[in-house]
Structure 1
Amino acid sequence: MSRHKQQMNGPKRGLAFIGVAALLFALVGVGWAHFDHRLPSNATLLHSGSEVTVGLDSQAPQSLDIRTVRGKELDQALIGNVYETLVGRDQNNKLVPSIAKSWDVSKDGLNYTFTLNSDMRFANGDALDSTDVVYSLQQILNKNYAGAEDLTGLKSVKNPDVSTVQIALSAPNPRLLRALSSRAGIIYDSTSSVNYTRQSGGSGPFTVHSFNPGNSIVLSRNPLYWKQQSATSQITLRYFDSVETLNKAMQSGEIQLAVLRPTDSPKSFEDNKKYTVSKGLTTSKVTLALNSSADALFSDEHTRWAVRYILDNTAITRDQPNAATVLNGPISPLEPGYDDLSALYPHNLSEGENDINYYKRQYVGDNTFLVPQEYESLGQEVVKQFAPTNFHLVMQVVDDNTLNQRIANGDYSMAIVTMQGPDDLGAFANGRFGYQNSQAQQDYRNALASPNDIDYQRNLRAYAKTVSADAGSAWFYTESSMVVADTNVTGYPKNMTDEFLPLRDVRTK
């Protein structure tokens, strides 16, 4: 009898042990999931063994300190990947929820209330809440970190509870939300001590696994990410000094994804059937600046009109390999306030000749035409277009420093420049090229004083139309955002990759 009980109780004790162990495991799992918000409910490791190497034709960072190091390289590599911002933006440059799931703006544009997501965390497991948002904004302003210049008029920042942040302004700043989707909006861990030059302390889908200054950055999946996990366990960013070396790395299989500069030509990649070449949009505008200073040729509106009619920017856009869309004003399709202004000056060589022939050849004279080295072929095309007219262009190919200095000194007649960002947008209101127009200045002041985004965009459209109608400049095109991928790589971004490169969804098939 006792032997039979022992035989029967053995399996029972085993089942009881398994049951207790399962219960303990469940309790530990529940406890861990709630401990300090460390484990997100969606922490599944997708494609856990996959790796992708991305090559960039870009200057390699020497430091990872996104707080202090200027330049787009760190924005491109880290924002949206390692660091998240209070407000986000999508691939069409539209504002979207990020750390803040929603926001409300008062009618006078002076008070912003942000409602944060819950159960957020940094990569080290620390909870992310309104305290970190307040801390981050205060640090950016007090220590003049990169982005501080975009927080104009900020009077106070408060957090009445863990999920609410209130910002008060002394004057309307309709660009505030967009600023909070870039450097000015990065949220740092208020309780963590990080060596930002070589490490990371963000809340994004990746962490910095290793950093080789001037060469590469290795990003690893953040298993504690509070939203959808990255599709790839590791992404290596490698930097190359030219599009040619980038192409060789693709051919050898060293990289699976190549991110080109907006000035690069994709032709060397397009003939290889192993690659998919994607061309998206950037906010970079290739512009023909006209010296409109008081004693310069283009101070006269008729000469500016002539340039607009003579220039065939549609043909140029078609022939330039890095061109995306024809541009006829100071705002590109991905920027707030864009309007199609192509009807203002349709290409008409006869009309342009009539405008310029009003003046004697001696008055028009020889015109110094400055061209950056990377736009030499574009400059040659412009010279050809102006050849049948009384405009005689003397093209000079210069480096960027020389170009900027000579424009500042007014030592030019025409120049090819690239324009990007809010500061460049105001160039035709602040006389950067000697251009003066009181209506444009008023339109721009109205835009900056707008209490909301709707008024801001309406006033920007008025500003752009005033400048374009008065031929304050001539415009060529917006540059392409170009990505080349092996055919088995998916999930990569296509727009604005020169400044914004979210890699969470990148994976191999």
Structure 2
Amino acid sequence: MGMRSEQQRKQYNGLISWGVFLGVALALSALVWAGWSVLVQHRSISLSALMHGAPQSSVTVGIGDVPQSLDIRSNGSSAAERLLIDNVYETLITVDQQNQLKSGLATSWKVSGDALKYTFTIASNVTFSNRHALDSADVVWSLQQAVTQKYAGVDALGDMQSITNPDSTTVVIALTKPNPTLLRALSGRLGIVYDSEAGNTDYANSAVGSGPFTVGAFNAAQSLTLQYNGSYHGTKAKVGSIAFKQYSDENALAKALADGDVDLAMPATATVAAASNKQHDLKVSEGATTDKVLLAFNNSTDSLMSDEQIRKAMRHLVDASSIASSQPDSAGALGGPISPLEPGYEDLTGLFPYDLNQAQTMLGYFAPQFIPSVDIVVTEQYRPIAETIAQQIGQVSLPKVNLEVVSAEDYAKRIQDGSWELTIMSMNGTDDAGAFADPGSLFHYDHSEAEQAYASARAATNDQDYAERMKAYAKIVSEDAASDWLYTRKCFTVASIKVSGYPTSLIDTRMPLGALDKQ
């Protein structure tokens, strides 16, 4: 019995020793883990990313508008779309830096001769960030959700008859009538492929995508952090994380760049770009956009601009060429509703050259009581251009110019109510010229020939015909002086010389950062 008791005592003491050892080991492990977690969080590198051999570099990007919500489906704001597409989400079709359509999740596609049937081949071996497989069923579900739930911009999909998937890598879209911009629509928010099995995902604050990054952290209207996606099917990202921070003040962003607190600003304003040009460790790049700045005319029947001759006189009176050359964000004079990166572009700057005598002659046909004054309503952003235009119109005795600079809230109300005659604004989107074929748009432009020309373009069954018909439509609209298109904007990128692999064109609409790298 004594031997058994001694043996039991040794076993008991041994258990205590092992318990102490395990307890100390666990405590040390917890301390090491806590310290490592702090380090990981500090570096904005997720555990998942580290497990997949993620690069540990982090890039900080200063932007002007972190979105209020990440839900691209219901939120019409372009901020979330610009940051998430190509980075977190992937689309069926994508575009390159020249705004040309390229394969995305759809590796190829075929269009029937009557343009009523689109057959897409979907990439194989693709997974979402949650490791769910992505196949044709997810594509069909995503498109069906867009239609039934009326996602933002869903009208761009056109008249869909059916969406089917005969097998796991094929999707067929049938239309009731041609939609020559369907592929373009599928390169944006409507082309995002969502996980049909993601459950109750909080899309306003997170995302389940198939892109090279995942959403790490999000603070509405303040910051967004993207993390390396180790399960990405394509070429893996070169940085471990990207932190977007909102800077509402140009001077603060310029200082952050100069101090090295921010690695990249995109798109940067012309002011920030000019300030950064003086820094030897920063590089300023310029790129093309589809953003068009115009002197818009309210063509409604109770507006002075409803008269064709007055509109044409105004275009001769405003020196659009000199305005374009004087603006730091100008990529060149425009002259029509389609920019150089859009289908159907033609140089229309020669239609209404600056000609004061011609303008005076055209306005001289009107009695003074018919053209007493004209109102220009703008926000503070466009005050300098508006003042220049007011001076140019002021070279004739009538009409007198009333320039009103109003708050953004008042401006939106004035435009919506139609209580304006001239304004300066921008239109930023491929194929947005169709607004001038809609009498119900904010321009209130009603021109049957233009409407017929646009309808003909929309009936095109191939890209070449669509571009040619849009060119004809744009010329009709510009010759009739529906508005005065001043210039196309360029965009600016300011980057640390340690950073490479970033896009420089179209960054006001999309920002693919999968190739971003930092020394």
Deviation of 1:265 (Å):
6.0
The answer on 1:218 being equivalent to 2:225 is yes
Native 8 Å contact 1:46 1:231 kept in 2: no
RMSD, aligned CA: 2.2
Q: Is the 8 A contact 2:253 2:272 kept in 1?
A: no
1:395 aligns with 2:434: no
- For residues 321 and 418 of structure 2, the distance between their equivalents in structure 1, rounded to whole angstroms, comes to 29
1:36-90 CA distances to partner (integer Å, 9 max, x unpaired)?
xxxxxxx9989822211101012x2233222222201101110000000011111
Aligned pair partner of 1:444 in 454, 477, 483 = 454
Alignment partner of 2:97 out of 78, 88, 91 = 91
Q: Which residue identity lines up with residue 479 of structure 1 in the other structure?
A: R
Q: Secondary structure at the match of 1:404?
A: helix
Is 1:143 the counterpart of 2:149? The answer is yes
Q: Hey, what does 1:462 align to over in structure 2?
A: 472
Counterpart code for 1:485 = A
Secondary structure in 2 matching 1:136: helix
Shift of 1:259: 1.8
Moved more, 145-154 or 91-100: 145-154
Equivalent of residue 299 in structure 2, options 289, 292, 308: 292
Which stretches in structure 2 are left out of the alignment for 5+ residues?
1-49
Does the Cα contact within 8 Å between 2:254 and 2:272 map onto a contact in 1? no
Structure 2 partner of 1:488: 498
**2:188 alignment counterpart:** 182
1:474-485 counterparts in 2 under 5 A?
474-485=484-495
Do 2:375 and 2:403's aligned partners in 1 also have CA atoms closer than 8 Å? yes
Q: Does 1:52 align with 2:69?
A: no
After superposition, the C-alpha distances for 1:450-495 in whole angstroms (9 at most, x for unaligned) are 2222222221111100010111111111222221111221111111
Match of 2:424 in 1: 416
Structure 1 contact 152–173 (Cα < 8 Å) conserved: yes
1:155 maps onto 2:161 in alignment:
yes
Decide which of 123, 126, 150 is 2:129's aligned counterpart: 123
Give the direction of change, closer, same or farther, for the CA distance of 1:221–1:362 in structure 2 (3 Å limit): same
- Partners of 1:407 and 1:49 in 2: how far apart? 49
Q: Does 1:501 align with 2:504?
A: no
Residues 265, 321 of structure 1: 8 Å contact kept: no
Q: Distance in 2 between matches of 1:440 and 1:46?
A: 57
Who is 1:246 aligned against? 253
Quick one: structure 1 residues 46 and 316, their matched pair in 2 at CA, closer, same or farther if it must change by over 3 Å? farther
SS at match of 2:230: coil
SS of equivalent residue, structure 2 residue 311:
helix
C-alpha deviation, 1:423, in angstroms: 7.9
Alignment partner of 1:76 is 2:82: yes
Counterparts of 2:338 and 2:266 in 1: how far apart (Å)?
24
Preserved contact between residue 46 and residue 232 of structure 1 (Cα < 8 Å): no
Separation (CA, whole Å) in 2 of partners of 1:92 and 1:423:
15
1:406 aligns with 2:414: yes
- Change in 2 beyond 3 A, CA 1:46/1:437: farther
TM normalised by structure 1 equals 0.87
Q: Deviations over 1:209-248 (max 9, x none)?
A: 2222332111111111111111212111111212222112
Cα distance change, pair 63–293 in 1 and its aligned pair in 2 (3 A):
closer
1:121 Cα deviation after fit: 1.7
Using the alignment, how far apart are the partners of 1:501 and 1:98 within structure 2? Answer: 15
Give the alignment of 1:31-70 within 5 angstroms: 48-58=55-65, 60-70=66-76
Q: How far apart, CA to CA, are the structure 2 residues paired with 1:458 and 1:393? A: 38
Sequence identity (%): 41
- Counterparts of 1:235 and 1:341, CA distance in 2: 41
CA contact (8 A) 2:376 2:420 kept: yes
Structure 2 letter corresponding to 1:489? V
Establish whether residue 109 from structure 1 lines up as the match of residue 115 from structure 2: yes
Consecutive unaligned residues of structure 1, counting only runs of 5 or more, are 1-42
Contact in 2 for aligned 1:140/1:147 (Cα 8 Å): no
For 1:111-155, what per-residue CA distance to the aligned partner results, in whole angstroms no more than 9, with x for missing partners? 100012222222222221111111111122222223423222111
Following the alignment from structure 2 to structure 1, what is the Cα–Cα distance between the partners of residues 415 and 216?
43
CA contact (8 A) 1:147 1:182 kept: no
In 1, the alpha carbon distance for the partners of 2:137 and 2:243 equals 32
CA distance in 2, matches of 1:151, 1:111: 13
CA distance 1:467–1:265, change in 2 (3 Å): farther
CA–CA separation in structure 1 for the residues paired with 2:51 and 2:110: 33
Please tell me whether the aligned partners of residues 107 and 123 of structure 2 are also in contact (alpha carbons under 8 angstroms): yes
Contact residue 262 and residue 479 of structure 1 kept, 8 A: no
